[in-house]
Amino acid sequence: MKTQTPFATALVLGLALSAGLAGNPESTLAAPDIASPPRKESSGLRMLEELQTVITDLAEEAKPSVVSIFPIQTLGKSRDGSGERVPNSTGSGSGVIIDPNGHIITNNHVVGDATEVEVRLSDKTKLFAQVVGKDPDTDLAVLKVTTDHPLPAARFGDSTGVKVGQWVLAVGNPFGLDRTVTLGVVSGIGRENINLSRYENFIQTDASINPGNSGGPLFNLRGDVIGINTAIINFAQGIGFAIPSNMAKQVMNQLISKGKVVRAWLGVGLQPLTPDLANKFGVDENEGVLVNEVFERDPAALAGIKPGDVITKVDGALVDTPNKLSRLVAALDPGSSTRVEVVRDGKRLTLNVALSERRDAVVTASLPQSRTDLKLGIDVQDLTAGLAEKFRLNESRGVLISKVEAGSLAQAEGLREGDLVKEVNRVDTGTVGEFTVAVSKVKRGDTILLRVLREGRAFYVVLKPADR
């Protein structure tokens, strides 16, 4: 006789019950006294419950170190200069306590122009915090509150070990909902060109980050802060960005000790390598960044770096974007020396550069990436004193682009009237005659590499002339 499964037994009893009630609506059928079989827990369920416990314990451990931040507005100053201080809810955000003495790290854009902010702790205590320092270049700020007892502080982890796919926990105060916890994974690392700050190296996560989360921590499963949540992409669910903890820690230490961040300076203008530029300079695409300008008496010039050099490494670290080169140099101390590897005329050179302190005005040249195989489409003339003044060119000689034909390759590559051509295929061109000779040497089907000056800043561009 075949043994029935519990499901089959229940099905038979259910059918019998239905039949009995249908035959005699007034009759009742007592349910048989059958004991339910004991529930068997699978190893998979136990593993999930253990993981759940890890996450809930992590959330409980992490939340006390997270604070709400409200920049202070002063209303109606009195005769003594004081006034009523009120929190600005529209600029509210999050922060994380980084030591028991009351230092807090958050985003610069959360603090804004405020010199004082209101901080609300997990136990509902409200404190006023002073702004220790701000760094717009990384969108970070450090605050300090004064208390009569140690505060619950988070610990920093090493963001170099962060991997795509690992689980993370974001804690913050989105939309005023205190200490909201969201779980997700790291969905990308090394994100740049997001145009949120000057030095970008973001951790991307799908852990839900919303307005108000800015400045809050991103934890790994060990409870270490591996990032400071900083931004979301509007209208894109599951895409948030965090500043890596190593970058945040370096900035934080300088803000606490100096009140500002001091960075090293190389003294070059840079642009990314397009396929055409890479071909012209004899390197692979994304193998380094192109130096389009070297500033006089700055570290790069003193070390012998020249326009047209392709920087491939800094202290052995590979360089593939201008942003990465800027980050690598900025992380070094002014006055220190660094080894810069360049490719020049097909040869690899290593130069020792003594770095100086970064100036406020940092220049990174760029050019539109669009290209098309149309004719050259430019008219040129010798530079005169009047033209140099008109186009704000601090030059005495060169070849001025006087007209750019609509729809031409030159227009597509971003050239415009007033640009000054300084080189053709790495040869100096100070006059229209020299320009004409250099262009005449270009063989049919070859491209032309121009070094162009615009308002005192140089860049390279590759053009493909029409057949002659």
Annotated binding residues, written as ranges, equal 109, 139, 212-214
Q: Which residues are annotated as a binding site for substrate?
A: 109, 139, 212-214
Rounded to 5°, angle at Cα 185 from 183 and 189: 135
Q: Is 43 exposed, middle or buried (0-12, 13-18, 19+ CB in 10 A)?
A: exposed
Catalytic residue among 68, 208, 214, 245: 214
Strand partners of residue 188? 204
Q: Give the contacts of 103 (CB within 8 A, at least 6 positions apart).
A: 97, 132, 142, 143, 144, 252, 256
At residue 8, the 3 state secondary structure works out as helix
Token duo for residue 104: 């807090």
CA gap 193, 200 in Å, rounded? 7
Cα distance between residue 15 and residue 12, in whole Å: 5
- Two structure tokens written together for 42: 């699978």
Known catalytic residue: 109?
A: yes
The residue among 67, 129, 69, 138 whose CA lies nearest residue 108 is 138
Is 214 among the catalytic positions?
yes
* Annotated catalytic residue 440: no
**CB burial string 303-339: b at 16+ within 10 A, e below:** bebebbbbbbbbeeeebebbbbbbbbbbbbeeeeebe
Q: Which of 139, 276, 309, 419 is catalytic?
A: 139
| DSSP labels, 94-135 | EEEE-STT-EEEE-HHHHTT-SEEEEE-TTS-EEEEEEEEEE
Query: Residue 283 contacts by C-beta under 8 Å, 6 or more apart in sequence?
Result: 273, 310, 312, 343
402 Cβ contact partners less than 8 Å away, ≥ 6 residues apart: 379, 380, 381, 417
* CA–CA distance, 119 with 144 (Å, rounded to integer): 10
Cβ atoms of 329 and 265 closer than 8 Å = yes
Catalytic site residue from 68, 109, 135, 206: 109
Q: How far apart are CA 405 and CA 379, in angstroms?
A: 8
CA–CA distances in Å: residue 463 to residues 55, 80, 421 = 57, 66, 13
Q: Which residue shows structure tokens 């320092």?
A: 133
Residues with a known catalytic role = 109, 139, 214
